[in-house]
A and B are shown apart, each in its own frame.
Chain A
């Protein structure tokens, strides 16, 4: 074991490691003691003790916990939705896809609960399955937009794509929060969930393409058909004409691909601040201005022959927590679960 290499690696992500190891800076005394008094076999335990001392007493970052608990609510929504998947409606390929996605979402629930606990926070209570109404009627308070989601493959997949695309935008929008960026372990975990949600979204879009060309059971070989609300590309093209179910009522999926709210974007729920987020704008998915650069075949070299939609497809957009909560509350029986 190369102890110094370990310290060096930690220093890369935690420049204050030396101060954490010994705030009194009597470094020499402690290290000399280690070297003289401990056998080689005992060294790993001693090293572990040093790190417990250095990191174990760090106060829990409640702000990060709030963000993670919000993500956890979204993962419950997805996980419970996939637990109800009507496998019999689908061919083998699609049923397998849904099984794989269901496993991932259940894993994300457990991972987030464990992570929140590990950093000293308290995970939210496990929601009752009756908290979610995937028909969109909020438990009979209004018309059911997706009443047949358990008996109609198209409706079920429309909801699935909507949840995954929302999830991608939600994680993307939360990553730049100051509190998340300050905790590199949480940031890396969030990024590593974010891209998995994008893989899911891509797959569900491929499945919807294949259903639109019903003779083709292989999702990857489905052909996208503009304007993509019925047979979408694997990536978001413009606003996809409002997504999987743009004209449904009272819930339209168009908001999932629309503009977010830049005002108070770092705040959600009961006014809980999650830090600041400088120079981050929550634009609609058809945005073609990135980092101040207006993207087009005339502004970017080597792209003059490209179709206009490619410039929006090449970038996904993020959403603020408040807008995500409003979308997700459409499926909350209490109507405020995601606040």
Chain B
């Protein structure tokens, strides 16, 4: 576990031996107690998935600032997406004053405001915002209705699930409140975008627990079948999707958010 090994290092022969020569913390000791062989325990200890080093990745950090930077990263992605939507061929073909155009305009405004606000809030908290992320999208993402709204839907649903899953990592009430102020607007976005894709899909089993229970990796998320709770996602689940839209060097490392 991270208590024993230098962060980010893969275990070497020397590392595997070292805990035996140093005073063993109680919690580390617990890890060894039930194992069949000391060597097995040491390998387990060295293989925690949280210890992966991530060269070239953007680490959002930990604690309240980590959550704020995580949110800032996702808002960067959404804001960039809608910015590019507005110069893409599908949007520019829309009639002025059409429902779709008005909606895409508002979503663009809201997400850019979220991005710029979070950057200001992180700076205001005497912390350092992550860098500006570089995005990448599949070819023709901005040229068809299906891909514009399909991608928007994926981002909005992901944003809601991300905020809901990360709320438990916030320790300061006012930051939790701020996250709540943003996430309900994201949910409003998600509902209308989903209906533009398919009328009356504003809720559905893919995003709330209806015909199946929550199977999220969010350990506090245990909603059963027919409970109609949002399917929150853990930071690891979220970046598994988000990193697909981020260039090398901009991909997110959220391993410290827990």
Contact = CB atoms under 8 A, between A and B. Distances in A.
Interface string B216-230: 001111111011111
A13 to B, nearest CB: 6
A258 B59 CA distance: 39
A301 interface: yes
Contacts of A144: none
Contacts of A208: none
A314 B113 contact: yes
The B contact surface, by secondary structure, is helix
Contacts of B182: 314-315
Given A192-B229, A300-B113, A314-B110, A32 B120 contact: no
Name, among A168, A199, A219, the residue most crowded by chain B CB atoms within 10 Å (CB to CB): A199
B167 interface: yes
Contacts of B71: none
Given A13-B220, A220-B195, A310-B113, A293 B121 contact: yes
Interface string A211-229: 0000000111111100000
Interface residues of B, number: 78
Interface string B197-239: 0011011000010100000001111111011111110000000
Interface in A254-299: 277-280, 290-293, 295, 299
Interface stretch (A65-73, A121-129, A180-188, A324-332): A180-188
Interface string B8-36: 00000000000000000011011101111
Nearest to A234: B192
Contacts of B252: none
A303 B203 contact: no
Interface stretch (A23-31, A56-64, A134-142, A151-159): A23-31
Contacts, number: 267
A107 B185 contact: no
Interface in A151-198: 168, 171-172, 175-176, 178, 181, 184-185, 187-189, 191-198
Given A27-B33, A291-B174, A316 B185 contact: yes
B14 to A, nearest CB: 23
B246 interface: no
Contact of B200 (A96, A103, A171): A96
A185 B98 CA distance: 42
A291 B34 contact: no
Contact of A191 (B36, B163, B190, B210): B163
A103 B167 contact: no
A4 B230 contact: no
A35 B34 CA distance: 6
B180 A314 contact: no
B139 interface: no
Given A196-B229, A202-B188, A202-B191, A172 B173 contact: no
Contact of B219 (A10, A194, A310, A315): A10
Given A108-B227, A188-B221, A291-B178, A223 B163 contact: no
A12 B116 CA distance: 31
Contacts of A13: 168, 219-220
B168 A313 contact: no
B188 A234 contact: yes
Contact of A34 (B34, B185, B230): B34
Nearest to A193: B229
Contacts of B26: 18, 25, 27
Contact of B195 (A31, A32, A114, A203): A203
B106 A310 contact: yes
A206 B112 contact: no
Contact of B221 (A192, A218, A291): A192
Contacts of B222: 185
Contact of A219 (B112, B176, B199): B199
Nearest to B175: A291
Contacts of B190: 199, 202
Nearest to B41: A4
A100 interface: yes
B140 to A, nearest CB: 23
B187 A195 contact: yes
Contact of A235 (B44, B106, B210, B219): B106
Interface of B: 1, 26-27, 29-31, 33-36, 44, 48, 97-100, 102-103, 106, 109-110, 112-114, 116-117, 120-121, 124, 160, 163-165, 167-168, 170-171, 173-174, 176-178, 180-192, 195-196, 199-200, 202-203, 208, 210, 218-224, 226-232, 258
Instruction: List the 9 shortest-distance A-B pairs measured between CB atoms, nearest first.
Output: A198-B187, A202-B191, A310-B109, A107-B228, A176-B173, A220-B195, A192-B229, A104-B228, A202-B188
Interface of A: 3-4, 7-13, 18, 25, 27-28, 31-32, 34-35, 93, 96-97, 100-101, 103-105, 107-108, 110-111, 114, 168, 171-172, 175-176, 178, 181, 184-185, 187-189, 191-203, 206, 218-224, 233-235, 277-280, 290-293, 295, 299-303, 306-307, 310-311, 313-318
13 contacts: A8-B1, A97-B202, A168-B184, A184-B220, A192-B223, A197-B184, A198-B188, A199-B202, A220-B199, A295-B113, A300-B117, A313-B185, A316-B184
